[in-house]
Structure 1
């Protein structure tokens, strides 16, 4: 079977009409004319994604072929057969026959030595605008053929019984034919994360660590990266007015240093205000794409507190909308790594220092908390563990990424900190969320070396070092037990979280060294 049978050229050969390489302005106009979006008061377009307002993990697949079977980690990736892929691909091709398609070539990977050229083919102009703003726009039309193809037709729906999938939505990566097909869902994040998964497959096999992290660089040229799951503050904390932004979500760590995989940002909007997050708020203007944000029907004013469609309201905008973003989005090797967690149990220290073995432990754990209201059925704090703070997007063995990180930390003598952006003074519902100004002050102190020559105390439960003092932060919040009025309740909550950590890392026994697994929290 020839590769061109399942390719961009094959899809486009069947298309009724093709709009190629439209500008941001042209796509903006088309989205409005086609009634795919409405105009917000601030000049962005707003789209609504219907049933799917977030990623659909159970509908993501990698085609299980001979060439990838022994490379992909099937413990955290769902396989699908070549027959399933061919059936759904045929539906995509038949759809193209009767519809207008939007097509362009974009890059992922700011480092020219490690970038991919992606042929993007979409049903909707609004989704194409999203890709234009999130990926890297070529300065001139690429001369070479694409490295990978992304096809997104939300109107094409799967039949779970006939197509051997779970729902009408499907996100399928075929590494043999270098193509991603997406149908049944309008949620734009599926396009972004599917290509991130592609990079997470390709880069580590070249010795480059791909990471679910944000990154920025100080005036002194020192780079910092921020790992974290959704809701931990990855985008917010990297958009620091005193530091230059490299990127907010996806990066590679090569022999040259850090490079952004994307050319834009995809930030949460829920409860957004200009006072708390001015850089993100001001980036919502002409060219930006709002997703599921409620607008006043007459004035089109954005209501960032209204979650009637979803808590997961979003905005996509290009990096240049952040005034202090650097271009090209590359910087040197990081001097500091920040692991972000939103601990709803209220027991993790707000900042702690990790040694290299502890860094591996917490990278493999990838801990944060979900709280009531974020997902249906959750009535209390619920711990979640995601390897590398991005497990759903890691096609290879998690240990591949962990060992690359360990190698990079040792080679560049990178400091590692664990920062809790979650609760203090009690668990969710009793305590309060850590103030953003305190978290910023702690991170600033760590990055500027203000914590290097102070005293540190070992936390007897979590086995990490906690600073005795931090500029502009009340000393009593640095040690969580001090913020609880009921010390017995603190220990009981800590014991719950310790048990969850211990249970989670059991899956690495026999694969990761005991001296790493033994560095985790303990009640002994």
Structure 2
């Protein structure tokens, strides 16, 4: 991608004596701890707290309304418009604010492991630990690449700069603003580092489809025979856990592109949840936390410096950010061929979706657009019974283009590469949350492995009467009464009522896709 001329304000900032560019991991660790931004844990990780913002601030995210891009953007609650005048004024304030700081940290790298289409990025940080986060999460350049680096996009992050909504035209003190024309992402008023990662993902979701590349919020792995699998799923569905397989190499755990040559990781690292993390349950993530890893909001014993991953006092959204090569079983560079199998993961707390079912192309596009899972009681304040969650394309907060752009690209690629698509329910069976039981991980792994190995491609199936899904009649090692969810319920009438209720929720949610083709709504939607 072509680099752009940077603004005079940014030129002046980057020419300052306070700029610390492309520091090593050890130097950034030293800076973060000596400046009081973070502490060192017993494992050598850097632990930082993000204050009152322990997650993203979607209501404070804006895109500048510009002539060159405004016709392409899907404006609404996700992509909120803001004027160039508001952006320019705040941008000038932030740059001038950073000029006065004793030290400013700059990382130069890339987004996208496919060198032909990668985005050159520059990250300008007020905090050393934020710069270490950027070093871990984005693709690190070679010395030669760093020397010749010309940024396509620049992140300017000033967490201690707080906007005045009445003066600056923001929603609150926090702001995440994107100017596609000026190639600037402006972040302030929040210390949550994940805003940087997801802002770049949003940029890639805008740029890649215009090059005929499908951008995807998914994990990916590849087998010894070169068979690639994609795993889509919202938080809590098992995306990271199921894609981490000792018999398959990880391509990436969160963001990917699918081009004419195959799949590539957008990132150079992993941003894993650590709540209740243990060596027994998730050894790959646990062992990846070492010197240079960034831990966000993890409680650490003041004396021993041992992390307590079970303590959710600050937040349930505790995180570890580390380079992907901290995982042993990976592909480097993070590229592979076209997918053979796509897995859509859902944690259905209503207990009515099958544990595994094969989808037609139309069903795949329907469930991709729906992006269904469930909130369960206890996960959020006020949630007292299962609530449906629909996140378009399994990543609606990060999609600048209309959702149908991504869905149509997915459908075309499924056709072109004859990809098998499965819907896997990692949620409840035998009843709703609180009555039924959570699907055993061992069963889910066995079903996912069977799908990837191709043993489910030609098995005898039965059609689910509510959602029209093709359910295998039998599978080795899986109890027969588990495959068809109705059989697992003691009260069949209760199952039927709950299935109809969920099907109705799907229909109601899908009304927002007015421009979707009739094939998807007639052949992909629930039958009732």
Q: Distance in 2 between matches of 1:144 and 1:130?
A: 19
2:371 aligned with 1:366, yes or no? yes
Structure 2 unpaired stretches of 5+? none
Q: CA deviation at 1:375?
A: 2.5
Q: Distance in 2 between matches of 1:255 and 1:221?
A: 16
Q: Distance in 2 between matches of 1:47 and 1:477?
A: 44
Secondary structure of 2:369's counterpart equals helix
Q: What is the TM-score when the length of structure 2 is the normalising length?
A: 0.96
Q: Distance in 1 between matches of 2:444 and 2:260?
A: 31
Q: Distance in 2 between matches of 1:478 and 1:418?
A: 13
Q: 1:11 — aligned with what? A: 13
2:436 aligned with 1:431, yes or no? yes
Q: 1:92 aligns with which of 73, 81, 94?
A: 94
Q: CA deviation at 1:372?
A: 2.3
Secondary structure of 1:129's counterpart equals helix
- Mean Cα displacement is larger for which, 208-217 or 163-172? 163-172
Q: 1:385 — aligned with what? A: 390
Equivalent residues in 2 for 1:89-238, closer than 5 Å: 89-99=91-101, 100-140=103-143, 141-238=146-243
Q: What is the TM-score when the length of structure 1 is the normalising length?
A: 0.96
Q: Deviations over 1:353-402 (max 9, x none)?
A: 00111111111111111222332322221111111111111111111111
Secondary structure of 1:410's counterpart equals helix
Q: CA deviation at 1:523?
A: 5.9
Structure 1 unpaired stretches of 5+? none
Q: Distance in 1 between matches of 2:321 and 2:436?
A: 32
Q: Cα distance 1:217–1:6, how it changes in 2: closer, same or farther (>3 A)?
A: farther
What is the aligned residue count?
521
- Mean Cα displacement is larger for which, 112-121 or 463-472? 463-472
* Native 8 Å contact 1:12 1:96 kept in 2: no
Q: 1:330 — aligned with what? A: 335
Alpha carbon RMSD of aligned pairs, Å? Answer: 1.5
* Native 8 Å contact 1:44 1:288 kept in 2: yes
Q: Cα distance 1:10–1:397, how it changes in 2: closer, same or farther (>3 A)?
A: farther
Q: Distance in 2 between matches of 1:513 and 1:480?
A: 30
2:490 aligned with 1:485, yes or no? yes
Q: Distance in 1 between matches of 2:237 and 2:60?
A: 25
Q: CA deviation at 1:136?
A: 0.6
Q: CA deviation at 1:12?
A: 2.3
Q: CA deviation at 1:7?
A: 6.4
Q: 1:302 — aligned with what? A: 307
Q: 1:28 — aligned with what? A: 29
Secondary structure of 1:216's counterpart equals strand
Q: Deviations over 1:299-349 (max 9, x none)?
A: 122211111111111111111111111100000000011111111111111
Secondary structure of 2:280's counterpart equals coil
Q: Cα distance 1:19–1:497, how it changes in 2: closer, same or farther (>3 A)?
A: same
Q: CA deviation at 1:126?
A: 0.7
Q: Distance in 2 between matches of 1:475 and 1:272?
A: 32
* Native 8 Å contact 1:353 1:466 kept in 2: yes
2:72 aligned with 1:71, yes or no? yes
* Native 8 Å contact 1:207 1:254 kept in 2: yes
Q: Cα distance 1:491–1:153, how it changes in 2: closer, same or farther (>3 A)?
A: same
* Native 8 Å contact 1:216 1:244 kept in 2: yes
* Native 8 Å contact 1:214 1:247 kept in 2: yes
- Mean Cα displacement is larger for which, 120-129 or 15-24? 15-24
* Native 8 Å contact 1:246 1:331 kept in 2: yes
